[in-house]
Amino acid sequence: MAKVEIPRVGESRTMVLFDDLTRTQIVMYAGASGDYNPLHSDEVYTTKVAGYPSVFAHGMLSMGATGRLLTDWFGPTGLTRFGVRFVNQVWPGDTLSATATVEAVRQDGDVTLVDLVVSTTNQDGKPVVSGTATARINP
Amino acid sequence: MTIERFPVEATHTMMFARAIGDPNPAFADPESPEAAAVGGVVAPPTFAMAGFQFDPDNPLRPKPGQPWFGSGREPSGEQREGGGVLHAEQVFEYHQPLRVGMVLTTTERAGRTWDKQSRSGATLHFSETITEFRDAGSDELVVTATMVGVKTEPAAESKD
């Protein structure tokens, strides 16, 4: 991939992760991750037993999708840290957009580290995942 | 999760990348320039969680001959104990790239615990679980994953 430029503090990128998230996408995540909790794929159990309005996405699906914004920016091996809180549930039909903003650029020896604030929101502007990440430039 | 052998394979990283909606060939195609640029196919940043596939005791996978709490003929197949813990936070620290061809082992330890009051007066019990993923070949640390779970205890005592 192309050489990653050192970003400026305040620089920001946004990406639409899912437009109209499908139940099948959530099933794909269950299959790949090994988290087969029926809350994410079994509408009968989730509505009749667990009492939710429908199945909902794994938090880790939203976090994983958010990671795409970071690896597209800093490369597939660019991250040194990535942490989030799961602040709202993600439902089938949601549209998710992720934004990452540079908070600091610092040197650790001859390595340049970029600290970012990361937020993924739904179509109502409600955050679903919010957190921070650190990337290293051209390690 | 405690896993003795978590082989990182290209089919799995490809399926995982598709599942998170990420088309980057660096996660899927060993012939791609994107993979070549990073020395071969690597795993997406949250891939370590897919180690659940290699946890023989994964309680969130149906197993032959055992009751499953999801629906079949009935809306639920069994009463579930130990449920009700929600995933509140997740942190990954990356010590080196997670590459296809590595075989990982994990060790798990409990981290911090703390309580918070919710606005409705319920007590929220938070607890950290820290999992270290090591390269079985070199015994070097690859990823440290910290999961924070939260369990809610209602303010009022229940009638039963």
- pLDDT single digits (tens) B28-43: 999 999 999 999 999 9
Q: In 3-state terms, chain A is what percent helix, strand and coil (to 5)?
A: 25, 35, 40
B117 found inside a domain: yes
Instruction: Provide the residue type at A66 as one letter.
Output: T
B46 found inside a domain: yes
- pLDDT single digits (tens) B129-147: 999 999 999 999 999 999 9
Range of the domain at B12: 6-55+81-153
| Residue ranges covered by each domain of chain A | 12-136
Please give the Cα distance from B151 to A128 (Å, whole number).
Answer: 19
Which CATH number belongs to the domain containing residue B93 in this structure? 3.10.129.10
- The mean per-residue pLDDT over the stretch A106-132 comes to 97
B61 found inside a domain: no
Which residues on B lie below 8 Å from A68 (Cβ)? 20-22, 24, 44
Task: Give the residue from B6, B46, B104, B144 with the most A CB atoms within 10 Å of its CB, the best one to mutate.
Answer: B46
Q: Does domain A12-136 have CATH number 3.30.56.10?
A: no
Q: How many domains is chain B built from?
A: 1
- CA end-to-end span of chain B, whole Å? 33
- pLDDT single digits (tens) A1-52: 568 999 999 999 999 999 999 999 999 999 999 999 999 999 999 999 999 9
Contact B94 A80 (CB under 8 A): yes
Contact A83 B22 (CB under 8 A): no
B1 found inside a domain: no
